Amino acid sequence: MAYPYVSDVEVRVISKYFGDPAHRRIDTYVERGGYKALEKALSLEPDAVTDEIKASGLRGRGGAGFPTGIKWSFMPKEPTRPHYLLCNADESEPGTFKDRELIRWDPHQLIEGCLIGAYAIRAQHVYIYCRGEFFEVNQILAKAVEDAYMKGYAGEDILGTGTTIDITVHQGAGAYICGEETGLMSSLEGDRGEPRIKPPFPAAVGVFGMPSTINNVETLATVPHIVLNGGEWYRQWGTEKSPGTKLFCVSGHVRKPGNYELPLGFPLIDLIENVCGGIRDGNRLKAVIPGGSSVPLINAEDARNCELDYEGCVEVGTMLGCASVIVMDHKADIVKQIRRMVDFYAHESCGQCTPCREGSAWTARILRRIEKGQGTEEDLDTLMEMTEQMVGTTICVLSDSIAAPVQSSINKFRDDYLELIRRGDQAGAV
């Protein structure tokens, strides 16, 4: 089965076997060089593995872009207490559909990355927290973990080295907030998935009160390639500060939406016009959300100047996030789009913090009023002021994630709001 769309400008490191179901089988994976990186890692000292990841400059692919090797080095060196590696496979950010594909097509690549990561941070247990709605993905992953145990790559005395690392696949129950690292830990412990105040940070007090490291699926899937080929090898792609390749999930009004693995720093406009075949139906580009629904949206002019790496996105007033590129053409209803996103966040807020709980509901209410043609220009000022108070005032950044799309849409597409306000009650909310 071929993967829906591929492009010859792609650099397929972690997505090489997308579309090839044979690759899910452990025998095929091993025949193609799989688990060699684990073997190599186990022959090194744990800190040497971390140093290689540091040298590669790999940055976390879950959204924040924190350097992975540095994160691993925060873990205590003497394991006087149990250590845990948590793999974040909760993937719920609107516009994101990469982690499920990494597991669906290449489950052993992730398992190998998890085992290497666990070894580097001296953890004896990995929890893969996988979104429950990914029914098929969970089944594929569970089977792959079972096979890894059967073949001696997981469990006790891995490959006769005396190292023990267990893996548990845990299914989430479909709450977006359980993707936030401390919410995930609370959920894993059997409590409500409510984020916790930091500090203490997970490397000091994580899941079950023990030192823990949490990484995204894509981050860990990249690890075997770096260990096998070296940090410098990985730096042949990308930029100095954002090295390597990245999966871009492109959705919206392009002719060929899908997952594309490209070097970081790739121009956004080339991604839209060349890799994805341009805007559908001959329409014009209006707006792009480059990093998933939590980041500011940009207009067509900014999109033309945007390079898709952590720094390039900041330069045009947005963020790379998890590189989920949502493209909108000139017929897109920006206000409706933003209102729907805010509805989502209001529904997913865990309710612990007043600015998030109340702010999200009120923001959604005002947007709905504007959408129905019952808004005023003052509402725009209220939205700006209210969302300003939702930034940096809460336990986690879900609250900030509401402010970003609302403020950027008012700044960049004020006329869309004004048109609805002036048009009166002709528009109807869906």
- Residue placing its CB nearer to ligand FMN in the complex, 92 or 229: 92
Identified binder of ligand FMN from the candidate list 295, 338, 398, 406, rule CB under 6 A: 398
Contact 181, 88 (CB under 8 A): yes
* Contacts of residue 372, Cβ cutoff 8 Å, sequence gap at least 6: 425, 427, 428, 429
Cα of 263 vs its chain's centroid, Å: 17
CA gap 47, 184 in Å, rounded:
27
For residue 41, state whether it binds ligand FMN (rule: CB under 6 A).
no
In the complex, the smallest distance separating the C-beta of residue 214 from ligand SF4, rounded to whole angstroms, is 16
Residue whose C-alpha is closest to residue 285's, from 331, 332, 329, 337: 329
Contact 138, 103 (CB under 8 A): no
For residue 363, state whether it binds ligand SF4 (rule: CB under 6 A).
no
Strands 245-252, 258-263: pairing kind = antiparallel
For residue 180, state whether it binds ligand FMN (rule: CB under 6 A).
yes
DSSP state of 295: S
For residue 216, state whether it binds ligand FMN (rule: CB under 6 A).
yes
Residue whose C-alpha is closest to residue 100's, from 135, 53, 71: 135
Using the contact rule CB under 6 A, the part of the chain among 120-128, 208-216, 222-230, 353-361 near ligand FMN is 208-216
CA gap 371, 198 in Å, rounded:
38
Number of chain positions touching ligand FMN (CB under 6 A): 23
Identified binder of ligand FMN from the candidate list 90, 101, 147, 416, rule CB under 6 A: 90
Identified binder of ligand SF4 from the candidate list 37, 120, 353, 410, rule CB under 6 A: 353
For residue 359, state whether it binds ligand SF4 (rule: CB under 6 A).
no
Task: Give the bridge partners for 86, in sequence order.
Answer: 127, 214
**Token pair for residue 80?**
């006087």
String marking each residue 173-212 x if it binds ligand SF4 according to CB under 6 A: ----x-----------------x-----------------
Q: Which of ligand FMN, ligand SF4, none lies near 352, with the C-beta cut-off 5 to 8 A by kind?
A: ligand SF4
Number of chain positions touching ligand SF4 (CB under 6 A): 14
For residue 399, state whether it binds ligand SF4 (rule: CB under 6 A).
yes
Identified binder of ligand FMN from the candidate list 181, 261, 302, 416, rule CB under 6 A: 181
Helix (H, G, I), strand (E, B) or coil at 265: coil
DSSP conformation letters of 169-209: EEE--S-GGGGSHHHHHHHHTTS------SSSPTTTS-GGG
Give residues in contact with ligand FMN (CB under 6 A).
60-64, 66, 71, 88, 90-93, 177, 179-181, 214-216, 219, 396-398
Give residues in contact with ligand SF4 (CB under 6 A).
177, 195, 349-353, 356-357, 394-396, 398-399
